[in-house]
């Protein structure tokens, strides 16, 4: 009877076949029978595809996806598709972020999320050594490619885009609104060029182009990186009041690291102790890596000034935190959460390189050396203030230009850097490009190039913001609102909120002793003296320092700059952080609790107990509004039995 029903549906109406419940746990969507995903309001499916659509190499691959039917009554208005960055991350691992973005649209729209081939549950590539080694090397990259053999080029973005098109056809989904972030924007452009008639609209969040002049050298990186720090400093009064730009403030520490590189040790955002060489390349990854984005820009200027003055702890901590944050691999080595092998396969197959990928690795090394030598002669400041060699000292998946030198040469049937035809045209569809003003990974210039490629492309500059701005980790909900309106109406509408996001509150300076901290400002009713108000301000700064670590924290525990520990507990409305003798200065230990709103707005509240030298003790309550320019923290309590009523700039 079920087969007859399907035949009748096909004969009578396409709508009947388009989506038919077969039971509580199954759904027939187009020609694919989907099963209910465990514990989720979604249906899980897999679609068998040839590993090599050209047929030159045999084999099959199962592509996993999740389908979320619209929640309201009536027919669907369309299907929203989200695709993830990396490359290497599976889109379904970010389902919560995508469903949150789409939530106001889901009553009338379905959602589809697919794991690209080689990621997640779509046959994750697992090059074990590359996945688990302490450090990526060109040799491990090459060995991964060798282990994949003829399959290596088959993980190209072009084939992943074809997989999505095939699934959409099988599900009888004719047109989609496509959202992607970071590398997902690269995937989107490939899909737009190769399958243009499937798209109703496209949103590219943190976009970079498929190609361009001098592309392989990533020439927009250094200007964007310099702008990131200079803009943040210029918009923060204590930093702007110092002579010169932020780059001028950082230059002395770069010179010192060049002259005296040294072995160092510091704790990362999870409190794990890391050993490394503090040198120019380690500083480069702090400045270029953009992770953890907020902490690096908030603190580097002050940390650099502290380092040259003899206080090394703040900068070494940033180096340790960045080393942890830029490593995309899962700590347990699980390739289904992030596939280093897939990342290498895509990066060595799709974008142009500074060398000829048709050469064997032995000849390619010489070609690389020739290209680098020529660059040093003609454009030595490509990555200023760092030299080309200092830039190359960063991890391979951030410096880019060396990572594929030992990757096996692809066969002529699957040439590298031919992800789309050279004369391919972008479709004339509504395209929205979201670019963070402080994003040095997918830069404003990159976003402008992508917007220009679409005849109907619009770039939105999100002020004082970093990489990827429509998802929940962004500094503001502005871009998400613009994206939803764009999908709904095909127009961005009023985008004034993108220019109204508050500047970053930087660290004015680091202090080893609380006596070097500016006193909080007394308000009527205060009985505390200037020294006691310094203790109070140092306590508030300690709380702010812990909050800044949350963006890179993944274990729920961490350590203070100069000692002590903290624990993180997430709840529905707020993140609670418990402090135990956390020290931002060496002479002041802070314990207590911080309740930070999960939303980007709201009031942060902290109850802090401070213990200083000479048996100084105090208990204060602090609160300040989040997401507000020039926010002020209100303070009340006691220090050594004396009433404190004061205010200070929110950290």
The pLDDT tens digits of the residues spanning 488-499 come to: 999 999 999 999
Residue 236 token pair: 């923060």
Residue 268 has pLDDT above 50, yes or no: yes
Give yes or no for residue 628 having a pLDDT over 90. Answer: no
Q: How far apart are CA 411 and CA 153, in angstroms?
A: 8
Confidence category of residue 56, pLDDT binned at 50, 70, 90: confident
* Helix 157-170, helix 183-194: angle, nearest 10: 60
Q: Extract the tokens encoding 294.
A: 């907020």
Question: Has residue 1 got a pLDDT over 70?
Answer: no
Tokens of 412: 């002529």
Distances (CA, A) of 458 to 98, 219, 435, 489: 22, 23, 11, 14
Distance, in Å, from the CA atom of 213 to the CA atom of 424, rounded to the nearest integer, reads: 16
Residues 152, 130: Cα–Cα separation, whole Å: 15
Contact (CB, 8 A) for 394 and 291: no
Q: With cut-offs at 50, 70 and 90, classify the pLDDT of residue 22.
A: low
In 3D space, the residue among 424, 442, 487 whose CA is nearest the CA of residue 190 turns out to be 424
Tell me the per-residue pLDDT of 76-92, one tens digit each, with 9 for 90 and over.
999 999 999 899 999 99
Look up the pTM and report it: 0.93
pLDDT, position 157:
97
**pLDDT at 169 > cutoff 60:** yes
Q: How far apart are CA 583 and CA 586, in angstroms?
A: 6
Tell me how far apart the alpha carbons of residues 270 and 56 are, in angstroms, rounded to a whole number.
47
What tens digit of pLDDT does each residue of 190-249 get?
Answer: 999 999 999 999 999 999 999 888 999 999 999 999 999 999 999 999 999 999 999 999
Q: State the pairing for strand pair 457-462/262-267.
A: unpaired
The residue-averaged pLDDT of 84-108 equals: 96
Residues carrying CATH 3.40.50.1820, the chain: 31-114+156-210+419-499
Nearest Cα to 178, choosing from 209, 201, 158?
A: 201
Burial letters 590-604, b for 16+ CB under 10 A, else e: bbbbbbbbeeeeeeb
Give φ, ψ of 69 to 5 degrees. Answer: -65, 155
Model pLDDT for residues 358-368, shown as the tens digit of each residue: 999 999 999 99
**634 pLDDT exceeds 80?**
yes
Structure tokens at 325: 């944050």
Cα–Cα dist 541/648, whole Å: 10
CA angle (287 as vertex; 285, 293 as ends), nearest 5: 100
CB-based contact 419:366 (threshold 8 Å)? no
Centre a 10 Å sphere on the Cβ of residue 304 and count the other Cβ atoms it contains: 26
Tell me if 436 sits within 8 A of 465, measured CB to CB.
yes
> If you ran DSSP here, which 8-state letter would residue 261 be given?
-
The structure tokens listed for 134 are 């302490």
578: exposed, middle or buried (Cβ count in 10 Å: 0-12, 13-18, 19+): middle
Per residue, the 3-state secondary structure of 143-202, as one string, reads: HHHHHHHHHHHHHCHHHHHHHHHHHHHHCCCCCEEEEEECHHHHHHHHHHHHCHHHEEEE
Average pLDDT, the chain: 93
What local confidence, expressed as pLDDT, does residue 40 receive?
79
What integer pLDDT is reported at residue 599 of this predicted model?
Answer: 79
Distance (Å, whole) CA 449 – CA 452:
5
Is the sign of the CA dihedral 444, 247, 295, 632 positive or negative?
Answer: negative
Reported confidence tier of residue 15, pLDDT bands at 50, 70, 90: very low
The answer to whether the CB of 283 falls within 8 A of the CB of 303 is no
431-436 sheet: strands from edge to edge: 19-23, 26-29, 32-36, 43-50, 60-68, 109-114, 78-83, 176-181, 199-205, 431-436, 457-462
Closest CA to 41 of 110, 97, 89: 110
The pLDDT value given to residue 376? 98
Instruction: Quote helix, strand, coil % in the chain, to nearest 5.
Output: 40, 20, 40
| Beta strand segments in 565-601, E | 565-570, 574-582, 589-597
Which pair of tokens denotes residue 159? Answer: 């084939």
Q: Using one digit for the tens of pLDDT, what is the confidence trace for 578-624?
A: 999 999 999 999 999 999 998 778 899 999 999 998 888 999 999 99
Nearest to 545 by CA among 368, 374, 295: 295
* CA 303 – CA 418 distance, rounded (Å): 44
Class of CATH domain 31-114+156-210+419-499: alpha beta
Q: Quote the longest CA-to-CA distance of the chain.
A: 88
**Looking at the predicted structure, is the pLDDT value of residue 3 above 50?**
no
């Amino acid at each position: 009877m079920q087969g007859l029903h399907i035949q009748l549906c096909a004969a009578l109406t396409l709508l009947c076949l388009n989506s038919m419940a077969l039971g509580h746990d199954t759904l027939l969507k187009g020609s694919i029978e989907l099963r209910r995903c465990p514990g989720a309001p979604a249906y899980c499916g897999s679609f068998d595809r040839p590993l090599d659509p050209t047929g030159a190499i045999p084999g099959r691959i199962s592509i996993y996806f999740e389908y979320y039917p619209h929640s309201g009554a009536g027919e669907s208005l369309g299907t929203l598709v989200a695709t993830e960055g990396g490359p290497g991350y599976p889109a379904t691992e970010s389902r919560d972020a995508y469903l949150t973005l789409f939530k106001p649209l889901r009553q009338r729209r379905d959602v589809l999320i697919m794991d690209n081939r080689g990621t997640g549950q779509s046959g994750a590539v697992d090059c074990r050594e590359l996945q688990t080694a302490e450090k990526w090397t060109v040799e491990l990259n090459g060995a991964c490619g060798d282990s994949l053999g003829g399959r290596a080029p088959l993980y190209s973005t072009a084939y992943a885009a074809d997989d999505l098109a095939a699934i959409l056809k099988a599900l009888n989904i004719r047109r989609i609104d496509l959202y992607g972030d970071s590398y997902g924007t690269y995937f989107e452009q490939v899909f737009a060029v190769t399958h243009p008639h499937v798209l109703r609209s496209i949103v590219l969040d943190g976009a970079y182009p498929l190609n361009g002049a001098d592309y392989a050298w990533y020439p927009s990186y250094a200007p964007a990186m310099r702008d990131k720090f200079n803009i943040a400093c210029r918009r923060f009064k204590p930093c702007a009041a110092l002579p010169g730009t932020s780059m001028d403030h950082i230059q002395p520490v770069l010179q010192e690291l060049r002259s005296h590189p040294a072995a160092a040790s510091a704790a990362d955002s999870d409190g794990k102790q890391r050993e490394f060489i503090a040198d120019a390349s380690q500083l480069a990854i702090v400045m270029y890596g953009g992770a953890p984005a907020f902490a690096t820009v908030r603190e580097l200027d002050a940390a650099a000034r502290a380092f040259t003055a003899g206080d090394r702890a703040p900068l070494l901590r940033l180096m340790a935190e960045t080393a942890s944050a830029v490593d995309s691999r899962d700590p347990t080595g699980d390739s289904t959460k992030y596939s280093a092998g897939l990342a290498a396969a895509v990066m060595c197959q799709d974008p142009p390189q500074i060398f000829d990928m048709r050469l064997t690795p032995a000849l390619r090394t010489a070609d690389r050396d020739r290209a680098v030598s020529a660059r040093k002669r003609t454009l030595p400041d490509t990555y200023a203030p760092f030299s080309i060699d200092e830039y190359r000292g960063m991890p391979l998946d951030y410096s880019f230009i060396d990572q594929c030198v030992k990757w096996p040469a692809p066969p002529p049937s699957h040439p590298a850097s031919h992800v789309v035809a050279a004369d391919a045209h972008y479709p004339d569809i509504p395209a929205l490009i979201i670019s963070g003003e402080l994003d040095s990974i997918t830069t404003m210039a990159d976003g402008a190039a992508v917007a220009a490629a679409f005849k109907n492309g619009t770039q939105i500059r999100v002020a004082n913001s970093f990489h990827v701005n429509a998802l929940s980790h962004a500094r503001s909900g502005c871009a998400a609102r613009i994206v939803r309106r764009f999908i709904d109406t095909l127009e961005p509408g009023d985008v004034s909120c993108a220019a109204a996001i508050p500047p970053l509150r930087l660290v004015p300076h680091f202090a080893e002793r609380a006596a070097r901290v500016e006193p909080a400002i007394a308000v009527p009713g205060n009985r505390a003296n200037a020294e006691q108000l310094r203790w109070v301000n140092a306590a508030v700064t300690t709380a702010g320092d812990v909050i800044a670590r949350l963006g890179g924290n993944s274990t729920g525990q961490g350590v203070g700059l100069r000692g002590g520990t903290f624990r993180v507990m997430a709840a529905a409305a707020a993140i609670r952080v418990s402090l135990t003798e956390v020290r931002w200065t060496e002479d002041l230990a802070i314990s207590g609790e911080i309740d930070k709103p999960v939303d980007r707005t709201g009031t942060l509240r902290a109850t802090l107990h401070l213990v200083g030298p000479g048996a100084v003790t105090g208990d204060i309550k602090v609160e300040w509004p989040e997401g507000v320019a020039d926010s002020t923290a209100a303070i009340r309590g006691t220090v050594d039995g004396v009433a404190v009523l004061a205010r200070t700039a929110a950290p």
